[in-house]
Amino acid sequence: MSVKLALGRARSRLLEQDGQEPYLFSAGLGEICLYGPSTRIPGECDVFICHRDGTNAREIAKELHDELVKMPVGIEDVDSSRNIKVFFEPSEGNTLQRDQIADALRSSTVIVFLVPQGTFEGISALQSDAPGDGTLTRLLVQYEMALEMCALRSDVTVLPLLVGSKIPGQSVYDYVNHFDEVQMSEYWPVHAVPEDLRVQSIVKSALAGLRRDFDVAQNLPSKRLNTGVPSILQSSDGNPSKTGRTIKQTLSVFRSAENFTPHIFHGSTRDAIQSACKKIQERVSSQHQKRRRGREGESFDGARKTLKKSHDEDSSGKQSVSPDAGVADARKSVHTNYDANEGSSSSAKRHKSDSSPASTGASMGGGAAGVDAADCTADSGGAGIERINKFSAGKEVALEKICDLPSLKRFNRGV
């Protein structure tokens, strides 16, 4: 978490309270962070198996783990040089167990929810001041983190595994019809969750876990997620005590097959394990490719910047459309907003609609401080960045097209 972002976020939250009109002036804070950036997540994983402690789901989680670690990451020709790394429970060691869980979850590309019936037993009695050390609250912390990770990163996916009831005396699991509302309500008891329930210990633990990663901490949104629910930081009604989404909203998102299509864990134990592992491996392979393309996109971005620099040098004195015009526009817009607001209480009111920290940390007068392009990606206000990202992440764009400046110009004009 950088100091600049923290100050900007505090300002945004004060503005939401509709009281006074706080301002922030700063210089040179962007490079320095309170904690992070971490260079590497210890115990990086591909798959995180999320299950409630003390239930029979642990047995399934272990079997899935044992099978998955024998399988290669890639299905076809994609990086089959190593096997899948799986996390299903913390181990004894120097790192705190909660940190092990947080690190494994943040690094995984596929988060598997093991959901047998009764997973959320006791949820109807959950209180807002519930302690964070219960098995249910610890599970819900992971659900909250998983939802944020999905919203933040396109290379992270959640796969709910609905575990059928075990037939007595046999190693066979019943089939689950996930279109059957009655049956689904036994797996996802959304109806039993108190309205407006937010558990402070869950929010704290989830935020602490997410903020172990510098990039995640910097980019936690304070707006609605793409699944239609508020983010963990969002203040939906301007009341800070009601920040973030409710437990009910979180469960509803995961219950919705439109958001996360479940896989049914049924049949004989062996068949069910193998079927689930195959499904997970497919997801891992797919997400692995996405992540790889993302990395290629980053190097592509680097090449673009080099090109832009040389292009700017070549065309000094001439007006040209630069490949980073979108970024520049966004930056200019941030400065303009800020300059228009300082010193005028009436115009400052307009600024209230902009809760982006990126738009708060600007310079005064002599321009000692700058708004970094990276700032624009924080919460909102980064239209230019978004355009650039879409472009750079496009796998069909061949690297040699970097030199095709007209095509870049067309892109920047939105053609």
Given the rule CB under 8 A, which residues bind another protein? 1, 3-4, 6-7, 9-11, 13-14, 19-29, 32, 34-35, 94-96, 98-99, 132-133, 200-201, 203-205, 207-208, 211, 217, 220, 222, 233, 235, 240, 243-244, 342-345, 348, 363-366, 368
Q: What does the DSSP 8-state code read for residue 2?
A: B
Give every CB contact of residue 184 below 8 A, 6+ residues apart in sequence: 178, 255
Nearer to another protein, 138 or 311 (CB): 138
Q: Using CA atoms, how far apart are residues 274 and 236, in angstroms rounded to an integer?
A: 43
Q: Residue 201 CB, nearest distance to another protein (Å)?
A: 7
Task: Output the smallest distance, CB 179 to another protein, in A.
Answer: 38
Q: How far is the CB of 353 from another protein (least distance, A)?
A: 16
Count other C-beta atoms under 10 Å from residue 268's C-beta.
Answer: 12
137 neighbors 45 (Cβ within 8 angstroms): no
CB of 154 to another protein, least distance (A): 23
Give the span between the Cα atoms of 299 and 397, in whole angstroms. Answer: 13
Least distance in angstroms from the C-beta of 392 to another protein: 28
Supply the Cα-derived Rg of the chain in whole angstroms. Answer: 24
Q: Locate 228 and state its tokens.
A: 């239609």
- Asked whether the CA dihedral 345, 349, 350, 354 is positive or negative, the reply is positive
231: left (phi over 0), alpha (psi -120 to 50) or beta: beta
CA 353, CA 339: separation in Å to the nearest integer?
16
Q: Which helix (H) or strand (E) holds 251?
A: helix 247-255
For 80-93, the DSSP string reads TTSBPPEE-S--SS
The tokens 């995640």 sit on which residue? 216
- Which runs of consecutive H residues, i.e. helices, occur in 51-180? 57-68, 97-107, 135-152
Query: With respect to another protein, which residue has the nearer C-beta, 1 or 383?
Result: 1
Strand partners, 172: 268
User: Minimal distance in Å, beta carbon 230 to another protein?
Assistant: 12
Which lies closer to another protein via its Cβ, residue 107 or residue 201? 201
Q: What is the Cα–Cα distance from 198 to 382, expressed in whole angstroms?
A: 30
Nearer to another protein by C-beta: 11 or 304?
Answer: 11
CB of 339 to another protein, least distance (A): 9
Measured from the CB of residue 69, what is the shortest distance to another protein in angstroms?
A: 27
Closer by beta carbon to another protein, 178 or else 212:
212
Nearer to another protein, 23 or 296 (CB): 23
Is residue 72 within 8 Å of residue 80, measured between CB atoms?
A: yes
Give 219 or 412: the residue with its C-beta nearer to another protein: 219
Contact 229, 250 (CB under 8 A): yes
CB of 107 to another protein, least distance (A): 18
Integer Cα distance of 272 and 277 in angstroms: 8
Q: Which is nearer to another protein, 142 or 287 (CB)?
A: 142
CB of 170 or CB of 345, closer to another protein: 345
